[in-house]
Structure 1
Amino acid sequence: MPTLRAPLATLLVITLLGLGTASLPSEPHLTPAASYLPRLVVRGGAPAAALLAHTPSASPHDSYRSTGPGIRFADRFRAGSVTKTFVATVVLQLAGEGRLGLSDPVERFLPGLIRGHGNDGRRITLRALLSHTSGLYDYTDDPSARPLSATAAVRTATAHHPAGAPGVFAYSNTNYAVLGLVVRSVTGHPYATEIRRRLLGPLHLDGTSLPGARTALPAPHGRAYSRDPVDGALADVTALDPRTAGAAGELISTLADLNRFYAALLGGRLLPPAQLAALLDTSAAHGSYGLGIFPQRLSCGVTVWGHNGLIAGSYVRAAATRDGRHTLTYRINTDTLAEAGTLEPALLEAEFCPA
Structure 2
Amino acid sequence: MALGVAMLLTACAATTHAKPAGSSPAARLRQDAEAIHALGISGVQARVIAPDGRQSVATSGTAALGTGRPVPSNGYFRMASTSKTLVATVVLQLEAEGGLSLDDTVDHWLPGVVRGKGNDGSRVTIRQLLQHTSGIPDGLPGYTTPKEYYQQRHNVYGPGQLVARAMAHAPDFPPGKGWAYSNTGYVVLGMIIQKATGQPVHQQIGDRVLRPLGLDHTRWTGTSATLPRPHAQAYQLFGPGSRVDVTDQIPVDHESLSWVTTTRDENVFLRALLAGRLLPPRQLAEMKQTVPVSAEVQRLWPGGRYGLGLVKRPLSCGGTYWSHEGGDGGYITLNGVTDDGRQSAVVSMSEARGDAPEHILSQENAAGSLIDHALCDAL
Q: Would you call these one fold, judging by a TM-score over 0.5?
A: yes
Higher helix share: 2
Instruction: Give the distance between the partners of 1:252 and 1:29, measured in 2 at CA.
Output: 27
Paired residue secondary structure (2:49): strand
Are the equivalent residues in 2 in contact too, given 1:130–1:291 (CA < 8 A)?
A: yes
Post-superposition shift, 1:223? Answer: 1.1
Alignment of 1:185 with 2:195, yes or no, is yes
Instruction: Give the distance between the partners of 1:347 and 1:219, measured in 2 at CA.
Output: 26
Are the equivalent residues in 2 in contact too, given 1:7–1:81 (CA < 8 A)?
A: no
Paired residue secondary structure (2:335): strand
Structure 2 stretches of 5 or more lacking a match? 10-23, 64-70, 295-303
Instruction: Give the distance between the partners of 1:32 and 1:169, measured in 2 at CA.
Output: 36
Instruction: Give the distance between the partners of 1:252 and 1:234, measured in 2 at CA.
Output: 23
Post-superposition shift, 1:248? Answer: 5.0
* Aligned with residue 312 of structure 1, among 317, 326, 329: 329
Alignment of 1:270 with 2:293, yes or no, is no
Are the equivalent residues in 2 in contact too, given 1:8–1:140 (CA < 8 A)?
A: no
Are the equivalent residues in 2 in contact too, given 1:129–1:176 (CA < 8 A)?
A: yes
1:62-73 equivalent positions in 2, closer than 5 A: 62-70=55-63, 71-73=71-73
Are the equivalent residues in 2 in contact too, given 1:37–1:67 (CA < 8 A)?
A: yes
Alignment of 1:256 with 2:279, yes or no, is no
Spell out, residue by residue over 1:91-124, the C-alpha distance to the aligned partner (whole angstroms, 9 max, x if none).
0000000000000001011011001100000000
Q: Which moves more between the two structures, 298-307 or 179-188?
A: 298-307
Are the equivalent residues in 2 in contact too, given 1:227–1:336 (CA < 8 A)?
A: yes
Are the equivalent residues in 2 in contact too, given 1:139–1:156 (CA < 8 A)?
A: yes
Paired residue secondary structure (2:140): helix
1:170-209 equivalent positions in 2, closer than 5 A: 170-209=180-219
TM-score by length of 2: 0.81
Are the equivalent residues in 1 in contact too, given 2:83–2:257 (CA < 8 A)?
A: yes
Are the equivalent residues in 1 in contact too, given 2:271–2:344 (CA < 8 A)?
A: yes
Residue matched to 1:351? 374
Post-superposition shift, 1:50? Answer: 1.1
Q: Write the letter of the residue equivalent to 1:267.
A: A
* Aligned with residue 281 of structure 1, among 284, 289, 294: 289
Are the equivalent residues in 1 in contact too, given 2:335–2:371 (CA < 8 A)?
A: no
Instruction: Give the distance between the partners of 1:60 and 1:160, measured in 2 at CA.
Output: 48
Are the equivalent residues in 2 in contact too, given 1:315–1:332 (CA < 8 A)?
A: yes
Residue matched to 1:220? 230
Aligned alpha-carbon RMSD (Å)? 2.4
Q: Write the letter of the residue equivalent to 2:272.
A: A
Residue matched to 2:171? 162
Paired residue secondary structure (1:268): coil
* Aligned with residue 47 of structure 1, among 36, 42, 50: 42
Q: Which moves more between the two structures, 293-302 or 96-105?
A: 293-302
Post-superposition shift, 1:348? Answer: 2.5
Q: Write the letter of the residue equivalent to 1:76.
A: Y
Q: Write the letter of the residue equivalent to 1:138.
A: D
Spell out, residue by residue over 1:277-324, the C-alpha distance to the aligned partner (whole angstroms, 9 max, x if none).
011110475962001110110122121101100102100112100111
Q: Write the letter of the residue equivalent to 2:29.
A: A
Instruction: Give the distance between the partners of 2:8 and 2:86, measured in 1 at CA.
Output: 17
Q: Which moves more between the two structures, 199-208 or 178-187?
A: 199-208
Distance 1:247 1:297, change over 3 A: farther
Instruction: Give the distance between the partners of 1:74 and 1:311, measured in 2 at CA.
Output: 19
Moved over 6 A (4+): 141-147
Identical positions, percent: 36
Post-superposition shift, 1:63? Answer: 0.4
TM-score by length of 1: 0.87
Residue matched to 1:292? 309
Distance 1:7 1:285, change over 3 A: closer
Query: How many aligned positions are there?
Result: 330
Q: Which moves more between the two structures, 325-334 or 220-229?
A: 220-229
Residue matched to 2:19? none
